[in-house]
Structure 1
Amino acid sequence: MMFSKLSSARLLALPVILSLGACVSFETKAPPSMLVLTADNGVTAGVARTASATDALVIQTPEVPRKLDTNRVPVQINASSIAYLKDAFWADKPARLMQQLLSETVSAKTGHLVLSEVDAGGKATRFISGSLLEFGVDAATNEAVVVFDAVKITRGNPTEKRRFEARRPVAAVEAAPVAAALNEAANDVALQIAEWAN
């Protein structure tokens, strides 16, 4: 008797569940385009670099504040509030995009063998790490801003830390001009870090 009551209740609930499924969408609409960073200084195809894993340079994924732990573009409205730029979505999170840009730029400008931590197999002794503090728009100045606190670690030597910053004017606070300005600023910071890492 108990079994038949439970079965009846489940059967009666089924149309409600099915109708709910018709009203609720679990998918998000894909953005019309995704933003990426493009390296101004890239490694030439066919160029080979050889070194032991211990001599390789590992560029780690930087830490980020919560506002950058997303694929959205933050706009700093004032000292205490931010918004996210409408219709602007990075293809990956800024930390990962910046790591890839740094790896490409440092390899191209220094000639160092740049590896991921996985490729280095735990044998690397030289690292660039740090924190990507700003990667968005300053609404007060209409500028794209990239700020990176880089840390240079070489086992057996003192650790060095330096802040790098670049700003570029933004013609309009819209996806395309902001992405272009951020790409320029990010490349500027990556080049500064490459010169420092050499």
Structure 2
Amino acid sequence: MKFPRSAMTRLVKSSAIGAAALAVTGCISLGSEPPESLLTLSPSVSAEAGSGAGASTADASTAISILPLEAPAKLDALRVPVAVSATELAYLQDAFWVEKPARLFRRLLGETLRARGGTLVLDNDDTPLLAAQSLRGTLMEMGYDASSSSAIVQFDAIRTQEDGSVTSRRFEARETGVLPEPGSVGPALNRAANTVADEVAVWVTGAS
């Protein structure tokens, strides 16, 4: 049986399109299954509901702005870094942050300062208010050290005061005896991060 030339042309085109579709399908990856749970940071102290402080755009002497924090490449990810040795880095299996560590820690700092200092804390990039004081810095560590079985949080803080003076200080907290699994590392990092945030709040506000 002979096919008309037009029908044969359509058959060839259809076969070619089908083959191309199969080839493309074989190259497409929709990604791995989402993790069963995600890690986050939760404050150990929070400002009470209804409490707060205020400042106008003309007088922001009581306000402090927490600027976006820097972080090294190993923390610019949704994974928990593991220091295997002095020169080798890995990531903890099945451990994923809900948001990048620097953003989580910035939010934790803001909530801790609100609770400890009773001052107006600006940690939103969209606010028009220019605070007299600012806090910035680099989140150097928020991960797991395999050699000591420790969860470590290290923050290099830089504070700029109303008179323009600038001071810096390194804060670090460790939780030891931590198993290398998300269920142990996650809570340990949360405790260490809260310890650092509390020490920063005391340094900035003088409140104990």
TM-score computed with the length of structure 1 as normaliser: 0.89
Instruction: Give 1:45-56 correspondences, 5 Å limit.
Output: 45-53=49-57, 54-55=60-61, 56=63
Residue identity opposite 1:15 in structure 2: G
Q: Would you say 1:18 and 2:25 are equivalent positions?
A: no
Deviation (angstroms), 1:12: 5.7
Asked if the contact 1:57/1:115 (under 8 Å) is kept, the reply is: yes
- Bigger mean CA deviation after superposition, 11-20 or 155-164: 11-20
Q: Residues 148 and 11 (structure 1 numbering): CA distance in 2 closer, same or farther, change over 3 Å?
A: same
Unaligned stretches of 5+ residues in structure 1: 1-6
Residue identity opposite 2:146 in structure 1: A
User: CA–CA distance in 2 between the matches of 1:10 and 1:66?
Assistant: 48
Q: Would you say 1:34 and 2:41 are equivalent positions?
A: no
Residue identity opposite 2:183 in structure 1: A
Asked if the contact 1:63/1:95 (under 8 Å) is kept, the reply is: yes
Alignment partner for residue 149 of structure 1, among 143, 153, 156? 156
Alignment partner for residue 114 of structure 2, among 94, 103, 107? 107
Deviation (angstroms), 1:154: 2.1
User: CA–CA distance in 1 between the matches of 2:156 and 2:128?
Assistant: 26
User: CA–CA distance in 2 between the matches of 1:193 and 1:42?
Assistant: 15
Of all paired residues, the percent bearing the same amino acid is 39
Structure index of larger Rg: 2
Pairs aligned (count) = 192
Q: Residues 135 and 10 (structure 1 numbering): CA distance in 2 closer, same or farther, change over 3 Å?
A: farther
Unaligned stretches of 5+ residues in structure 2: 1-9
- Bigger mean CA deviation after superposition, 124-133 or 84-93: 124-133
TM-score computed with the length of structure 2 as normaliser: 0.85
Deviation (angstroms), 1:144: 0.3
User: CA–CA distance in 1 between the matches of 2:189 and 2:83?
Assistant: 14
Asked if the contact 1:170/1:178 (under 8 Å) is kept, the reply is: no
Q: Residues 16 and 154 (structure 1 numbering): CA distance in 2 closer, same or farther, change over 3 Å?
A: farther
What is the RMSD of the two structures over their aligned residues, measured on CA atoms? 2.0
Asked if the contact 1:143/1:168 (under 8 Å) is kept, the reply is: yes
